[in-house]
Structure 1
Amino acid sequence: MLRYFLKRLLSLALSLVAASVVIFLALEVVPGDPAAYMLGLNAQEDTLNALREQLGLNGSIVERYVSWAGGLLTGDFGISYTYRTPVSEMIGDRLWVSLPLALYALTLSSLIAFPAGIWAASRRGTYVDAGVMGITQLGVAIPNFWFAMLMVLVFAINLRWFSAGGFAGWDAGFFAGMKSLTLPAIALALPQASILTRVMRSSLLDTLNEDFIRTARAKGLNKGQAMWRHALRNALIPVLTIMGLQFSFLLAGAIIIENVFYLPGLGRLVFQAISARDLIVVESVVMLLVFAVIVVNFAVDLAYAWVDPRLRGRR
Protein backbone atom coordinates (compact mmCIF):
# COMPACT_ATOMS: atom_id res chain seq x y z
CA MET A 1 0.00 0.00 0.00
CA LEU A 2 2.91 2.36 0.79
CA ARG A 3 4.39 1.85 -2.68
CA TYR A 4 1.03 2.57 -4.29
CA PHE A 5 0.66 5.73 -2.17
CA LEU A 6 4.14 7.01 -3.08
CA LYS A 7 3.56 6.43 -6.79
CA ARG A 8 0.31 8.34 -6.72
CA LEU A 9 1.97 11.12 -4.68
CA LEU A 10 4.76 11.45 -7.27
CA SER A 11 2.18 11.58 -10.05
CA LEU A 12 0.36 14.35 -8.14
CA ALA A 13 3.53 16.43 -7.80
CA LEU A 14 4.46 16.08 -11.49
CA SER A 15 0.91 16.96 -12.53
CA LEU A 16 1.02 20.13 -10.43
CA VAL A 17 4.34 21.23 -11.94
CA ALA A 18 3.09 20.59 -15.47
CA ALA A 19 -0.18 22.39 -14.77
CA SER A 20 1.60 25.45 -13.35
CA VAL A 21 3.78 25.74 -16.47
CA VAL A 22 0.81 25.38 -18.84
CA ILE A 23 -1.33 27.91 -16.94
CA PHE A 24 1.47 30.47 -16.76
CA LEU A 25 2.40 30.15 -20.43
CA ALA A 26 -1.23 30.16 -21.57
CA LEU A 27 -1.86 33.48 -19.86
CA GLU A 28 1.46 34.90 -21.05
CA VAL A 29 0.42 34.58 -24.69
CA VAL A 30 -2.88 36.39 -24.08
CA PRO A 31 -2.65 39.70 -25.98
CA GLY A 32 -2.70 42.97 -24.08
CA ASP A 33 -0.74 44.72 -21.36
CA PRO A 34 -2.23 44.77 -17.83
CA ALA A 35 -0.43 48.06 -17.09
CA ALA A 36 -1.88 49.72 -20.20
CA TYR A 37 -5.32 48.36 -19.34
CA MET A 38 -5.10 49.78 -15.81
CA LEU A 39 -3.81 53.24 -16.83
CA GLY A 40 -5.85 53.69 -20.01
CA LEU A 41 -4.98 54.47 -23.61
CA ASN A 42 -3.44 57.89 -22.97
CA ALA A 43 -0.92 56.79 -20.35
CA GLN A 44 2.68 57.98 -20.78
CA GLU A 45 5.39 55.42 -21.52
CA ASP A 46 7.42 56.26 -18.42
CA THR A 47 4.30 55.83 -16.28
CA LEU A 48 3.62 52.47 -17.92
CA ASN A 49 7.20 51.34 -17.30
CA ALA A 50 7.00 52.38 -13.67
CA LEU A 51 3.77 50.43 -13.19
CA ARG A 52 5.19 47.38 -15.00
CA GLU A 53 8.20 47.50 -12.69
CA GLN A 54 5.95 47.77 -9.67
CA LEU A 55 3.84 44.81 -10.84
CA GLY A 56 6.91 42.73 -11.68
CA LEU A 57 6.10 42.58 -15.39
CA ASN A 58 9.50 43.71 -16.69
CA GLY A 59 11.40 40.56 -15.78
CA SER A 60 12.02 37.66 -18.13
CA ILE A 61 9.39 34.99 -18.48
CA VAL A 62 11.53 32.52 -16.49
CA GLU A 63 12.03 35.01 -13.66
CA ARG A 64 8.34 35.78 -13.51
CA TYR A 65 7.40 32.09 -13.50
CA VAL A 66 9.90 31.25 -10.75
CA SER A 67 8.68 34.20 -8.69
CA TRP A 68 5.03 33.22 -9.15
CA ALA A 69 5.56 29.49 -8.54
CA GLY A 70 7.75 30.16 -5.50
CA GLY A 71 5.06 32.42 -4.10
CA LEU A 72 2.47 29.68 -4.55
CA LEU A 73 4.59 27.28 -2.50
CA THR A 74 4.79 29.76 0.37
CA GLY A 75 1.18 30.90 0.16
CA ASP A 76 2.07 34.27 -1.35
CA PHE A 77 -0.07 34.60 -4.49
CA GLY A 78 1.01 38.16 -5.18
CA ILE A 79 -0.91 41.44 -5.28
CA SER A 80 -3.99 41.98 -7.42
CA TYR A 81 -3.34 44.38 -10.30
CA THR A 82 -6.82 45.85 -10.00
CA TYR A 83 -7.68 45.85 -6.30
CA ARG A 84 -4.11 46.22 -4.96
CA THR A 85 -4.83 43.68 -2.22
CA PRO A 86 -3.16 40.30 -1.62
CA VAL A 87 -4.61 37.66 -3.91
CA SER A 88 -4.47 35.11 -1.09
CA GLU A 89 -6.93 37.21 0.93
CA MET A 90 -9.28 37.53 -2.03
CA ILE A 91 -9.16 33.78 -2.64
CA GLY A 92 -9.63 33.01 1.04
CA ASP A 93 -12.75 35.16 1.25
CA ARG A 94 -14.26 33.58 -1.88
CA LEU A 95 -13.19 30.03 -1.01
CA TRP A 96 -15.38 30.06 2.09
CA VAL A 97 -18.34 30.43 -0.23
CA SER A 98 -17.40 28.11 -3.10
CA LEU A 99 -16.09 25.22 -1.00
CA PRO A 100 -19.16 24.87 1.26
CA LEU A 101 -21.37 25.28 -1.81
CA ALA A 102 -19.55 22.45 -3.62
CA LEU A 103 -19.67 20.17 -0.57
CA TYR A 104 -23.35 20.99 0.02
CA ALA A 105 -24.26 20.25 -3.60
CA LEU A 106 -22.21 17.02 -3.67
CA THR A 107 -23.82 15.85 -0.43
CA LEU A 108 -27.30 16.51 -1.79
CA SER A 109 -26.56 14.76 -5.08
CA SER A 110 -25.10 11.72 -3.26
CA LEU A 111 -28.05 11.49 -0.86
CA ILE A 112 -30.38 11.45 -3.86
CA ALA A 113 -28.32 9.34 -6.27
CA PHE A 114 -27.25 6.40 -4.12
CA PRO A 115 -30.72 5.31 -2.96
CA ALA A 116 -32.26 6.06 -6.37
CA GLY A 117 -29.57 4.14 -8.28
CA ILE A 118 -29.73 1.14 -5.95
CA TRP A 119 -33.54 1.17 -5.99
CA ALA A 120 -33.64 1.27 -9.80
CA ALA A 121 -31.04 -1.52 -10.14
CA SER A 122 -32.84 -3.78 -7.66
CA ARG A 123 -36.05 -3.39 -9.70
CA ARG A 124 -34.63 -3.64 -13.18
CA GLY A 125 -37.23 -3.69 -15.95
CA THR A 126 -40.08 -2.52 -13.71
CA TYR A 127 -42.07 0.70 -13.71
CA VAL A 128 -39.89 1.91 -10.83
CA ASP A 129 -36.74 1.50 -12.93
CA ALA A 130 -38.32 3.22 -15.92
CA GLY A 131 -39.59 6.06 -13.76
CA VAL A 132 -36.22 6.68 -12.11
CA MET A 133 -34.45 6.64 -15.48
CA GLY A 134 -37.02 9.01 -16.95
CA ILE A 135 -36.57 11.47 -14.09
CA THR A 136 -32.78 11.33 -14.38
CA GLN A 137 -33.00 11.94 -18.12
CA LEU A 138 -35.06 15.04 -17.39
CA GLY A 139 -32.56 16.12 -14.74
CA VAL A 140 -29.67 15.85 -17.19
CA ALA A 141 -31.56 17.72 -19.90
CA ILE A 142 -32.68 20.71 -17.79
CA PRO A 143 -30.03 23.48 -17.71
CA ASN A 144 -29.09 24.19 -14.10
CA PHE A 145 -29.22 27.97 -14.59
CA TRP A 146 -32.83 27.69 -15.86
CA PHE A 147 -33.71 25.50 -12.90
CA ALA A 148 -31.99 28.03 -10.61
CA MET A 149 -34.09 30.89 -11.97
CA LEU A 150 -37.23 28.76 -11.60
CA MET A 151 -36.41 28.11 -7.94
CA VAL A 152 -35.82 31.83 -7.37
CA LEU A 153 -39.25 32.53 -8.85
CA VAL A 154 -41.01 29.90 -6.75
CA PHE A 155 -39.17 29.84 -3.43
CA ALA A 156 -37.80 33.39 -3.22
CA ILE A 157 -40.34 35.59 -4.99
CA ASN A 158 -43.62 33.70 -4.55
CA LEU A 159 -43.18 31.73 -1.30
CA ARG A 160 -40.44 33.96 0.16
CA TRP A 161 -38.79 31.09 1.97
CA PHE A 162 -35.32 32.07 0.76
CA SER A 163 -33.59 35.23 -0.43
CA ALA A 164 -33.32 35.73 -4.18
CA GLY A 165 -29.56 36.12 -4.04
CA GLY A 166 -26.54 37.22 -2.08
CA PHE A 167 -24.71 35.56 0.77
CA ALA A 168 -25.55 36.30 4.39
CA GLY A 169 -22.00 35.54 5.52
CA TRP A 170 -20.81 33.08 8.14
CA ASP A 171 -20.75 35.91 10.70
CA ALA A 172 -24.55 35.80 10.62
CA GLY A 173 -24.46 32.20 11.81
CA PHE A 174 -24.02 28.74 10.29
CA PHE A 175 -27.70 28.22 9.49
CA ALA A 176 -28.02 31.66 7.89
CA GLY A 177 -25.04 30.91 5.67
CA MET A 178 -26.34 27.47 4.72
CA LYS A 179 -29.76 28.90 4.00
CA SER A 180 -28.16 31.34 1.53
CA LEU A 181 -26.47 28.38 -0.20
CA THR A 182 -29.49 26.05 -0.25
CA LEU A 183 -31.07 27.12 -3.55
CA PRO A 184 -27.72 27.32 -5.40
CA ALA A 185 -26.74 23.91 -4.01
CA ILE A 186 -30.01 22.33 -5.18
CA ALA A 187 -29.59 23.89 -8.62
CA LEU A 188 -26.08 22.44 -8.87
CA ALA A 189 -27.04 19.07 -7.37
CA LEU A 190 -29.93 18.26 -9.75
CA PRO A 191 -27.92 17.36 -12.89
CA GLN A 192 -25.12 15.81 -10.82
CA ALA A 193 -27.58 13.57 -8.97
CA SER A 194 -29.11 12.49 -12.27
CA ILE A 195 -25.72 11.51 -13.71
CA LEU A 196 -24.63 9.76 -10.53
CA THR A 197 -27.90 7.82 -10.32
CA ARG A 198 -27.47 6.46 -13.84
CA VAL A 199 -23.83 5.50 -13.18
CA MET A 200 -24.76 3.84 -9.88
CA ARG A 201 -27.53 1.81 -11.53
CA SER A 202 -25.40 0.79 -14.51
CA SER A 203 -22.39 -0.19 -12.41
CA LEU A 204 -24.50 -2.17 -9.97
CA LEU A 205 -26.29 -4.04 -12.75
CA ASP A 206 -22.94 -4.95 -14.36
CA THR A 207 -21.62 -6.20 -11.03
CA LEU A 208 -24.74 -8.27 -10.35
CA ASN A 209 -24.01 -10.20 -13.57
CA GLU A 210 -20.50 -11.18 -12.44
CA ASP A 211 -19.58 -14.80 -11.67
CA PHE A 212 -18.87 -14.16 -7.98
CA ILE A 213 -22.43 -12.87 -7.51
CA ARG A 214 -23.82 -16.01 -9.11
CA THR A 215 -21.58 -18.04 -6.79
CA ALA A 216 -22.90 -16.13 -3.78
CA ARG A 217 -26.47 -16.76 -4.94
CA ALA A 218 -25.67 -20.47 -5.38
CA LYS A 219 -24.45 -20.60 -1.77
CA GLY A 220 -27.88 -19.51 -0.56
CA LEU A 221 -27.86 -15.72 -0.53
CA ASN A 222 -30.95 -14.05 -1.92
CA LYS A 223 -30.70 -11.20 -4.42
CA GLY A 224 -30.81 -8.46 -1.80
CA GLN A 225 -28.16 -10.07 0.38
CA ALA A 226 -25.83 -10.64 -2.58
CA MET A 227 -26.26 -7.04 -3.67
CA TRP A 228 -25.64 -5.44 -0.27
CA ARG A 229 -22.85 -7.77 0.88
CA HIS A 230 -20.88 -8.20 -2.34
CA ALA A 231 -22.09 -6.24 -5.35
CA LEU A 232 -22.42 -2.75 -3.89
CA ARG A 233 -18.81 -2.31 -2.80
CA ASN A 234 -17.48 -3.61 -6.11
CA ALA A 235 -19.79 -1.27 -8.02
CA LEU A 236 -18.40 1.82 -6.29
CA ILE A 237 -15.24 2.30 -8.39
CA PRO A 238 -16.89 4.09 -11.38
CA VAL A 239 -19.17 5.90 -8.94
CA LEU A 240 -16.16 7.25 -7.02
CA THR A 241 -14.66 8.44 -10.30
CA ILE A 242 -17.79 10.41 -11.15
CA MET A 243 -18.00 11.85 -7.64
CA GLY A 244 -14.42 13.07 -7.86
CA LEU A 245 -15.08 14.72 -11.21
CA GLN A 246 -18.33 16.20 -9.91
CA PHE A 247 -16.67 17.80 -6.90
CA SER A 248 -14.03 19.35 -9.14
CA PHE A 249 -16.74 20.68 -11.44
CA LEU A 250 -18.83 22.00 -8.57
CA LEU A 251 -15.85 23.85 -7.11
CA ALA A 252 -14.54 25.28 -10.37
CA GLY A 253 -17.53 25.35 -12.68
CA ALA A 254 -20.25 27.04 -10.63
CA ILE A 255 -19.67 30.45 -12.24
CA ILE A 256 -23.14 30.61 -13.84
CA ILE A 257 -24.94 29.66 -10.64
CA GLU A 258 -22.82 32.09 -8.63
CA ASN A 259 -23.82 34.88 -11.00
CA VAL A 260 -27.52 33.91 -10.92
CA PHE A 261 -27.52 34.07 -7.11
CA TYR A 262 -24.92 36.86 -6.80
CA LEU A 263 -22.64 34.69 -4.68
CA PRO A 264 -19.11 36.02 -4.04
CA GLY A 265 -17.39 32.74 -4.94
CA LEU A 266 -14.28 31.70 -6.85
CA GLY A 267 -16.11 31.35 -10.17
CA ARG A 268 -17.34 34.92 -10.02
CA LEU A 269 -13.88 36.10 -8.95
CA VAL A 270 -12.30 34.52 -12.03
CA PHE A 271 -14.92 36.08 -14.27
CA GLN A 272 -14.30 39.53 -12.79
CA ALA A 273 -10.52 39.10 -12.98
CA ILE A 274 -10.67 38.11 -16.65
CA SER A 275 -12.83 41.13 -17.41
CA ALA A 276 -10.29 43.41 -15.69
CA ARG A 277 -7.25 41.57 -17.14
CA ASP A 278 -6.07 40.91 -13.59
CA LEU A 279 -3.84 38.05 -14.72
CA ILE A 280 -2.21 37.39 -11.36
CA VAL A 281 -5.65 36.64 -9.88
CA VAL A 282 -6.62 34.45 -12.84
CA GLU A 283 -3.35 32.47 -12.65
CA SER A 284 -3.61 31.94 -8.91
CA VAL A 285 -7.29 30.97 -8.82
CA VAL A 286 -6.99 28.61 -11.80
CA MET A 287 -3.90 27.01 -10.24
CA LEU A 288 -5.77 26.57 -6.97
CA LEU A 289 -8.68 24.94 -8.79
CA VAL A 290 -6.30 22.65 -10.68
CA PHE A 291 -4.68 21.75 -7.38
CA ALA A 292 -8.12 20.89 -5.97
CA VAL A 293 -8.92 18.72 -9.01
CA ILE A 294 -5.62 16.83 -8.78
CA VAL A 295 -5.89 16.32 -5.01
CA VAL A 296 -9.46 15.04 -5.35
CA ASN A 297 -8.33 12.61 -8.05
CA PHE A 298 -5.50 11.52 -5.74
CA ALA A 299 -8.04 10.88 -2.98
CA VAL A 300 -10.20 8.93 -5.43
CA ASP A 301 -7.19 6.75 -6.37
CA LEU A 302 -6.65 5.97 -2.70
CA ALA A 303 -10.35 5.19 -2.36
CA TYR A 304 -9.97 2.76 -5.29
CA ALA A 305 -7.29 0.90 -3.36
CA TRP A 306 -9.55 0.74 -0.31
CA VAL A 307 -12.54 -0.51 -2.30
CA ASP A 308 -10.57 -2.95 -4.49
CA PRO A 309 -7.47 -4.40 -2.72
CA ARG A 310 -6.30 -5.90 -6.03
CA LEU A 311 -5.15 -2.45 -7.13
CA ARG A 312 -2.63 -2.22 -4.29
CA GLY A 313 -0.57 -5.11 -5.58
CA ARG A 314 -0.82 -4.08 -9.20
CA ARG A 315 0.74 -0.64 -9.00
Structure 2
Amino acid sequence: MWAKCGSRFLDAVFGVLTQVTMAVPSFFLGILVTYLCGIVLKWFVPGGYISYQENMTGFLAYLLFPAISIALPKIAMTARFLRNSMLTEMKLDYVRTAYSKGCSKNQVMFGHVLKNAMMPVITFLGMMIAEILAGSIVVEQVFALPGIGRLLISSVGTRDLPVVEILILYITFVVIFVYFIVDILYRVIDPRIRKSE
Protein backbone atom coordinates (compact mmCIF):
# COMPACT_ATOMS: atom_id res chain seq x y z
CA MET A 1 0.00 0.00 0.00
CA TRP A 2 2.78 2.41 0.97
CA ALA A 3 4.68 1.59 -2.21
CA LYS A 4 1.58 2.35 -4.28
CA CYS A 5 1.07 5.70 -2.47
CA GLY A 6 4.75 6.55 -2.95
CA SER A 7 4.52 5.72 -6.64
CA ARG A 8 1.45 7.92 -7.07
CA PHE A 9 3.18 10.74 -5.18
CA LEU A 10 6.26 10.48 -7.43
CA ASP A 11 4.02 10.44 -10.51
CA ALA A 12 2.26 13.58 -9.29
CA VAL A 13 5.57 15.36 -8.56
CA PHE A 14 6.93 14.32 -11.97
CA GLY A 15 3.77 15.58 -13.67
CA VAL A 16 3.88 18.95 -11.89
CA LEU A 17 7.62 19.45 -12.53
CA THR A 18 7.40 18.61 -16.22
CA GLN A 19 4.26 20.70 -16.70
CA VAL A 20 5.80 23.77 -15.03
CA THR A 21 9.09 23.38 -16.92
CA MET A 22 7.27 22.93 -20.24
CA ALA A 23 5.11 26.00 -19.59
CA VAL A 24 8.07 28.35 -19.08
CA PRO A 25 9.31 29.68 -22.46
CA SER A 26 13.04 29.45 -23.18
CA PHE A 27 13.50 33.21 -23.41
CA PHE A 28 11.82 33.78 -20.02
CA LEU A 29 13.92 31.00 -18.50
CA GLY A 30 16.94 32.75 -20.02
CA ILE A 31 15.95 36.00 -18.29
CA LEU A 32 15.56 34.13 -14.97
CA VAL A 33 18.94 32.39 -15.42
CA THR A 34 20.57 35.71 -16.30
CA TYR A 35 19.12 37.39 -13.23
CA LEU A 36 19.80 34.54 -10.79
CA CYS A 37 23.19 33.29 -12.03
CA GLY A 38 24.49 36.52 -13.55
CA ILE A 39 23.27 39.33 -11.28
CA VAL A 40 22.56 37.64 -7.93
CA LEU A 41 25.18 34.85 -7.83
CA LYS A 42 27.64 36.60 -10.22
CA TRP A 43 28.66 33.36 -11.96
CA PHE A 44 28.92 35.15 -15.30
CA VAL A 45 28.68 38.68 -16.66
CA PRO A 46 25.32 39.21 -18.43
CA GLY A 47 25.98 40.22 -22.03
CA GLY A 48 29.71 39.60 -21.58
CA TYR A 49 30.17 37.12 -24.40
CA ILE A 50 33.67 35.59 -24.62
CA SER A 51 34.87 34.39 -28.01
CA TYR A 52 36.39 30.92 -28.33
CA GLN A 53 39.48 32.58 -29.88
CA GLU A 54 40.13 34.51 -26.67
CA ASN A 55 39.41 31.85 -24.06
CA MET A 56 37.95 28.42 -24.83
CA THR A 57 37.07 27.67 -21.20
CA GLY A 58 35.31 31.01 -20.75
CA PHE A 59 33.48 30.49 -24.06
CA LEU A 60 32.14 27.08 -23.00
CA ALA A 61 31.25 28.37 -19.52
CA TYR A 62 29.29 31.26 -21.03
CA LEU A 63 27.42 28.91 -23.39
CA LEU A 64 26.36 26.72 -20.45
CA PHE A 65 23.64 29.13 -19.31
CA PRO A 66 21.94 29.61 -22.71
CA ALA A 67 22.12 25.84 -23.17
CA ILE A 68 20.33 25.32 -19.83
CA SER A 69 17.59 27.79 -20.70
CA ILE A 70 17.02 26.13 -24.10
CA ALA A 71 17.35 22.53 -22.87
CA LEU A 72 15.16 22.48 -19.73
CA PRO A 73 11.77 22.89 -21.47
CA LYS A 74 12.83 20.47 -24.22
CA ILE A 75 13.95 17.86 -21.67
CA ALA A 76 10.64 18.18 -19.82
CA MET A 77 8.67 17.77 -23.06
CA THR A 78 10.73 14.72 -24.07
CA ALA A 79 10.39 13.09 -20.64
CA ARG A 80 6.63 13.61 -20.57
CA PHE A 81 6.22 12.43 -24.15
CA LEU A 82 8.32 9.29 -23.48
CA ARG A 83 6.40 8.53 -20.28
CA ASN A 84 3.03 8.80 -22.02
CA SER A 85 4.26 6.68 -24.91
CA MET A 86 5.57 3.99 -22.53
CA LEU A 87 2.31 3.94 -20.56
CA THR A 88 0.42 3.42 -23.82
CA GLU A 89 2.75 0.58 -24.84
CA MET A 90 2.46 -1.10 -21.41
CA LYS A 91 -1.27 -1.68 -22.03
CA LEU A 92 -0.70 -3.66 -25.24
CA ASP A 93 -0.92 -7.44 -25.54
CA TYR A 94 2.73 -8.12 -26.39
CA VAL A 95 3.79 -6.92 -22.92
CA ARG A 96 1.56 -9.52 -21.25
CA THR A 97 2.93 -12.14 -23.67
CA ALA A 98 6.52 -11.20 -22.79
CA TYR A 99 5.77 -11.52 -19.07
CA SER A 100 4.08 -14.90 -19.65
CA LYS A 101 7.21 -16.14 -21.45
CA GLY A 102 9.17 -15.48 -18.25
CA CYS A 103 10.91 -12.23 -19.19
CA SER A 104 11.98 -10.05 -16.27
CA LYS A 105 10.65 -6.53 -15.82
CA ASN A 106 13.93 -5.02 -17.11
CA GLN A 107 13.87 -7.26 -20.20
CA VAL A 108 10.29 -6.23 -20.98
CA MET A 109 10.88 -2.53 -20.32
CA PHE A 110 14.19 -2.14 -22.18
CA GLY A 111 13.89 -4.91 -24.77
CA HIS A 112 10.29 -4.38 -25.84
CA VAL A 113 8.43 -1.40 -24.40
CA LEU A 114 11.16 1.26 -24.63
CA LYS A 115 12.06 0.24 -28.18
CA ASN A 116 8.47 0.63 -29.38
CA ALA A 117 7.81 3.74 -27.29
CA MET A 118 10.83 5.49 -28.83
CA MET A 119 9.26 5.75 -32.29
CA PRO A 120 7.09 8.84 -31.67
CA VAL A 121 9.77 10.27 -29.35
CA ILE A 122 12.38 10.11 -32.13
CA THR A 123 10.09 12.15 -34.37
CA PHE A 124 9.71 14.73 -31.61
CA LEU A 125 13.46 14.79 -30.93
CA GLY A 126 14.13 15.30 -34.65
CA MET A 127 11.86 18.33 -34.73
CA MET A 128 13.45 19.67 -31.56
CA ILE A 129 17.04 19.22 -32.77
CA ALA A 130 16.20 20.86 -36.09
CA GLU A 131 14.70 23.81 -34.23
CA ILE A 132 17.77 24.18 -31.97
CA LEU A 133 20.29 23.87 -34.84
CA ALA A 134 18.32 26.30 -36.96
CA GLY A 135 18.87 28.95 -34.31
CA SER A 136 17.12 29.99 -31.13
CA ILE A 137 16.64 33.62 -32.04
CA VAL A 138 15.13 35.02 -28.84
CA VAL A 139 17.55 33.23 -26.49
CA GLU A 140 20.45 34.59 -28.53
CA GLN A 141 19.05 38.09 -27.99
CA VAL A 142 18.66 37.53 -24.22
CA PHE A 143 22.26 36.36 -23.77
CA ALA A 144 23.71 38.65 -26.49
CA LEU A 145 25.15 35.71 -28.43
CA PRO A 146 26.43 36.24 -31.97
CA GLY A 147 24.46 33.34 -33.46
CA ILE A 148 22.55 32.47 -36.60
CA GLY A 149 19.27 33.93 -35.36
CA ARG A 150 20.87 37.25 -34.52
CA LEU A 151 22.63 37.35 -37.89
CA LEU A 152 19.34 36.58 -39.66
CA ILE A 153 17.51 39.39 -37.85
CA SER A 154 20.26 41.94 -38.54
CA SER A 155 20.49 40.83 -42.21
CA VAL A 156 16.73 41.26 -42.67
CA GLY A 157 16.95 44.69 -41.01
CA THR A 158 19.78 45.85 -43.29
CA ARG A 159 18.23 44.14 -46.37
CA ASP A 160 21.33 42.01 -46.91
CA LEU A 161 19.49 39.54 -49.15
CA PRO A 162 22.40 37.19 -50.03
CA VAL A 163 23.05 36.52 -46.33
CA VAL A 164 19.32 35.98 -45.70
CA GLU A 165 19.15 33.53 -48.61
CA ILE A 166 22.19 31.59 -47.37
CA LEU A 167 20.79 31.39 -43.83
CA ILE A 168 17.39 30.22 -45.10
CA LEU A 169 19.15 27.57 -47.20
CA TYR A 170 21.22 26.52 -44.18
CA ILE A 171 18.10 26.18 -41.99
CA THR A 172 16.35 24.19 -44.75
CA PHE A 173 19.36 21.88 -45.13
CA VAL A 174 19.54 21.29 -41.35
CA VAL A 175 15.83 20.40 -41.16
CA ILE A 176 16.05 18.01 -44.16
CA PHE A 177 19.25 16.39 -42.83
CA VAL A 178 17.80 15.85 -39.33
CA TYR A 179 14.63 14.29 -40.77
CA PHE A 180 16.79 12.06 -42.97
CA ILE A 181 18.64 10.84 -39.84
CA VAL A 182 15.26 10.29 -38.12
CA ASP A 183 14.12 8.11 -41.05
CA ILE A 184 17.32 6.04 -40.79
CA LEU A 185 16.76 5.61 -37.04
CA TYR A 186 13.22 4.39 -37.76
CA ARG A 187 14.65 1.59 -39.90
CA VAL A 188 17.24 0.69 -37.25
CA ILE A 189 14.81 0.63 -34.31
CA ASP A 190 11.70 -0.86 -35.89
CA PRO A 191 12.32 -4.04 -37.98
CA ARG A 192 8.73 -3.89 -39.28
CA ILE A 193 9.71 -0.92 -41.47
CA ARG A 194 12.55 -2.93 -43.04
CA LYS A 195 10.26 -5.92 -43.68
CA SER A 196 7.54 -3.80 -45.28
CA GLU A 197 9.89 -2.63 -48.05
**Normalised TM-score (structure 2):** 0.91
- Higher alpha-carbon Rg: 1
Say if 2:140 and 2:150, in contact at 8 Å, map to a contact too.
yes
What are the ranges of 5 or more consecutive residues in structure 2 without an aligned counterpart? none
Q: Shift of residue 253 of structure 1? A: 4.2
Within 5 A, what are the aligned runs for 1:119-268? 126-268=8-150
Say if 2:156 and 2:164, in contact at 8 Å, map to a contact too.
yes
Answer yes or no: is 1:275 the counterpart of 2:161: no
SS state of the match for residue 164, structure 1? coil
Identity of counterpart residues, as a percentage? Answer: 38
SS state of the match for residue 146, structure 2? coil
Cα distance change of structure 1 residues 297 and 226 upon mapping to structure 2, 3 Å threshold = same
* CA distance in structure 1 between the partners assigned to 2:122 and 2:57 by the alignment: 29
* CA distance in structure 2 between the partners assigned to 1:219 and 1:186 by the alignment: 44
* CA distance in structure 1 between the partners assigned to 2:57 and 2:9 by the alignment: 39
Give the aligned length. 193
Say if 2:19 and 2:76, in contact at 8 Å, map to a contact too.
yes
1:130-167 per-residue CA deviation (whole Å, 9 max, x = no partner) reads 11111111112112211111111111111111231243
1:281-314 per-residue CA deviation (whole Å, 9 max, x = no partner) reads 1111011011000000000000010000111232
**Normalised TM-score (structure 1):** 0.58
CA-atom RMSD in angstroms: 1.8
What are the ranges of 5 or more consecutive residues in structure 1 without an aligned counterpart? 1-122
SS state of the match for residue 128, structure 2? helix
Say if 1:166 and 1:263, in contact at 8 Å, map to a contact too.
no
* CA distance in structure 1 between the partners assigned to 2:46 and 2:97 by the alignment: 55
Q: Shift of residue 198 of structure 1? A: 1.1
* CA distance in structure 2 between the partners assigned to 1:214 and 1:183 by the alignment: 45
Q: Shift of residue 176 of structure 1? A: 2.1
* CA distance in structure 2 between the partners assigned to 1:186 and 1:245 by the alignment: 19
